[in-house]
């Protein structure tokens, strides 16, 4: 990939942000379920 690809920044950024935040939310949800199930 070249630097030229980064010119499409805003839309790529939105996709990346969405993906990272989705995975972050899933990770937090998994930790929350772990806490709810075992920490009581």
Partner 1 sequence: MQPLDWFIVVISLAYVVWDGIRRSKNTHELEGYFLANRNLPWWAVGLSVMATQLSAVTMIGTTGQGATDGMRFIQFYFGLPLAMVILGVTLVPFLHKARVFTAYEFLERRFDAKTRSLTSFLFLISRGMSAGTIIAAPGVVFSAIFGWDMVWSVVLMGVPTILYTVVGGVQAVTWADVKQMGIIVLSLVAVVVVLLVKLPVPAGEALEIAGAAGRMRVFDFSWDFTKTYTFWSGMLGGTFLMLSYFGTDQSQVQRYLTAKSVDDARSSLLMSAYWKIPLQALVLLLGVLVFVFYLFQAPPLLYNPAQEARVRAAEPAAFAALDTRYRTAVAARESSARAVAKNPASGREAGRSAFRDREADVQAVRTEALALAERVTGQPSRDVNYIIPRFVLDHLPLGLAGLFLAGVLAAAMSSIAAELNSLSTATVIDFYRRWVRPEASDAHFLKVSKLATAAWGIFACIVAIYAATLGSLIEVVNRFGSFFYGSILGVFLLAMIPRTKSLGAFVGLLAGMATVAAVSFGAPSVSFLWHNVIGVVTVLVVGSVLSLGGAARTARSQP
Which residues sit at the interface with partner 1, rule CB under 8 A?
1-3, 5-6, 9, 13, 16-17, 20-21, 23-24, 27-28, 31-32, 34-35, 37-40
Cα separation, 4 vs 26, in Å, equals 32
- The single residue listed with the structure tokens 């010119």 is 7
Q: Minimal distance in Å, beta carbon 18 to partner 1? A: 10
> Which positions ≥6 away from 5 have C-beta within 8 Å?
12
């Amino acid at each position: 990939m070249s630097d030229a690809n980064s010119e499409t920044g805003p839309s790529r950024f939105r996709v990346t942000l969405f993906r990272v935040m989705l995975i972050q939310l899933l990770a937090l949800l998994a930790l929350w379920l772990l806490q709810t199930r075992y920490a009581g």
